[in-house]
């Protein structure tokens, strides 16, 4: 039997699932990652640590008896969006990966917002207003504060695209990920206007070629295959931004379809066939389906709150036991409330300085 392997490069967890030819899941593996957060708004992840987690999850799936008796047809990827993952021409990291939840560029954003009509012009061109999570704004921050990192980098990647480069040795970006702040939504190409407006047009040649999500980006290299225990030369698809992959996976492809993801970011999306129904009160990205877009309401107040609870308050790391303890507490928690903003918020309101805390009444 033929099998397909999906990998999700999440912010706090990497998952790999093996599907049969009817797309029924037959095996899976997952492992948490360890992003680093700071009170200054930094949110980073080590390239090598992320790759090591991917390799371990793939090796676990590779040991599945069904796969050992069948044929792996192809590999696809989804991943956390935005952020900046820099590397040299061989894929070696240039500094840690900057995550989408990083808010270090908020002062720079406030400065740029003083330019009349810049925010609206960027939204009209790219689908995103100025926000610290944007790759474009993070690159602008690096230019001003860490230019040596940009000078040392040959490639600018998103998380899944760097992982794919290390698996295939073929450098490429992908349409849906790029559409979060760098894409001209009308032409489907890197936005010259956005790069020039933020003073980062000198970086244009650092972006690898742009592929559609369903394009073959390369094949599993001999070295990567040996590490992961998978067959070499297995085709690897370009993949897609996680919120777009989730929409496709749950069937949210029709105009007006609404879906919600409960993860590191708790994101609600509305599918739009054409830009005329896109709301200017949101941000939007290119869907996996041609001619479609997704209005996004991406809350940052997601599952990291559960991680924080486990690390700092819970007496058990077992989520099932934790749920049982919580179920025994009467509704209202005795008047104790948790404000879940560990690292700012961007929907339904925007505040990069919002922080978490307990309240009692």
Bigger pLDDT: 278 or 213?
A: 213
Mean pLDDT rounded to a whole number for the chain:
93
Banded model confidence at residue 302, pLDDT cuts 50, 70, 90: confident
Buried b (16+ CB within 10 A) or exposed e, 270-291: bbbbeeeebeeebbbbbbbbee
Give me the mean pLDDT over the 335-340 stretch: 90
List, edge to edge, every strand of the sheet that includes 97-98: 36-37, 43-45, 97-98
**pLDDT, tens only, 106-126:** 999 999 999 999 999 999 999
Side-chain half-sphere exposure of 178, counting CA atoms within 13 A: 27
**pLDDT, tens only, 17-36:** 999 999 999 999 999 998 88
pLDDT tops 80 at residue 280: no
Residue reference for tokens 């739009």: 272
Q: Which of 31-45, 103-117, 197-211 has the lowest mean pLDDT?
A: 31-45
* Residue 31 β-bridge partners: 14
pLDDT tops 90 at residue 40: no
The whole-number pLDDT of residue 279 equals 79
Find all residues with CB under 8 Å of 54, minimum gap 6, and list them: 7, 9, 14, 16, 163
The whole-number pLDDT of residue 249 equals 93
pLDDT tops 80 at residue 350: no
The whole-number pLDDT of residue 171 equals 98
Any idea what the Cα angle at residue 156 is, between residues 192 and 95, rounded to 5°?
135
Q: What percent of the chain has pLDDT over 90?
A: 71
CB 322 within 8 A of CB 310: yes
CB 93 within 8 A of CB 172: no
Domain boundaries defined on the chain: 2-244, 251-299, 305-360
Give me the mean pLDDT over the 306-319 stretch: 83
CB 82 within 8 A of CB 100: yes
Find all residues with CB under 8 Å of 77, minimum gap 6, and list them: 6, 7, 8, 9, 160, 163, 164, 236, 237, 238, 239, 240
Can you give the pTM of this predicted structure?
0.90
Banded model confidence at residue 361, pLDDT cuts 50, 70, 90: confident
The whole-number pLDDT of residue 310 equals 84
| Residue 243 to residue 177: CA distance in whole angstroms | 10
For β-strands 71-79 and 216-219, DSSP reports them as unpaired
The whole-number pLDDT of residue 316 equals 82
**Fold of the CATH domain 2-244:** Nucleotidyltransferase; domain 5 (3.30.420)
The whole-number pLDDT of residue 227 equals 96
| Residue 11 to residue 133: CA distance in whole angstroms | 13
CB 95 within 8 A of CB 146: yes
Region of 171 on the Ramachandran plot (φ > 0 left; ψ -120 to 50 alpha; else beta) = beta
Give me the mean pLDDT over the 247-271 stretch: 92
User: In the structure encoding, which two tokens stand for residue 71, read together?
Assistant: 């044929």
Banded model confidence at residue 102, pLDDT cuts 50, 70, 90: very high
Backbone angles phi, psi at 45, to 5 degrees: -145, 135
């Amino acid at each position: 039997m033929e099998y397909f392997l999906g990998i999700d490069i999440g912010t706090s967890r990497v998952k790999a699932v093996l599907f049969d030819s009817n797309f029924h899941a037959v095996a899976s593996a997952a492992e948490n990652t360890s992003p680093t957060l700071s009170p200054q708004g930094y949110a980073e992840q080590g390239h090598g640590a992320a790759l090591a987690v991917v390799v371990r999850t793939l090796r676990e799936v590779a040991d599945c008896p069904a796969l050992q008796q069948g044929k792996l047809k192809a590999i696809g990827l989804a991943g956390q969006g935005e952020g900046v993952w820099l590397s040299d021409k061989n894929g070696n990291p240039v500094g840690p990966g900057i995550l989408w939840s990083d808010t270090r560029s908020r002062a720079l954003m406030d400065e740029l917002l003083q330019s009349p009509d810049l925010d609206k012009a960027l939204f009209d061109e790219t689908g995103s207003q100025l926000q610290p999570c944007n790759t474009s704004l993070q690159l602008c921050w690096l230019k001003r504060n860490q230019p040596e990192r940009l000078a040392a980098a040959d490639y600018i990647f998103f998380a899944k695209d760097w992982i794919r480069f290390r698996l295939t040795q073929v450098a490429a970006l992908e349409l849906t990920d790029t559409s979060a702040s760098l894409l001209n939504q009308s032409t489907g190409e890197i936005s010259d206007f956005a790069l020039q407006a933020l003073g980062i047009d000198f970086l244009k040649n650092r972006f690898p070629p742009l592929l559609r999500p369903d394009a073959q980006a390369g094949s599993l290299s001999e070295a990567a295959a040996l590490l992961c225990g998978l067959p070499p030369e297995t085709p690897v698809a370009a993949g897609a931004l996680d919120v777009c992959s989730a929409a496709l996976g749950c069937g949210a492809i029709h105009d007006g379809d609404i879906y919600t993801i409960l993860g590191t970011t708790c994101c609600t999306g509305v599918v739009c066939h054409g830009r005329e129904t896109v709301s200017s009160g949101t941000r939007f990205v290119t869907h996996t389906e041609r001619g479609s877009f997704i209005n996004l309401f991406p809350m940052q107040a997601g599952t990291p709150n559960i991680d924080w609870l486990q690390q700092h308050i819970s007496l058990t790391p077992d989520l099932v036991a934790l749920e049982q303890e919580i179920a025994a507490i009467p509704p209202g928690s005795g008047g104790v409330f948790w404000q879940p903003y560990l690292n700012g918020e961007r929907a339904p309101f925007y505040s990069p300085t919002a922080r978490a805390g307990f309240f009692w009444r």
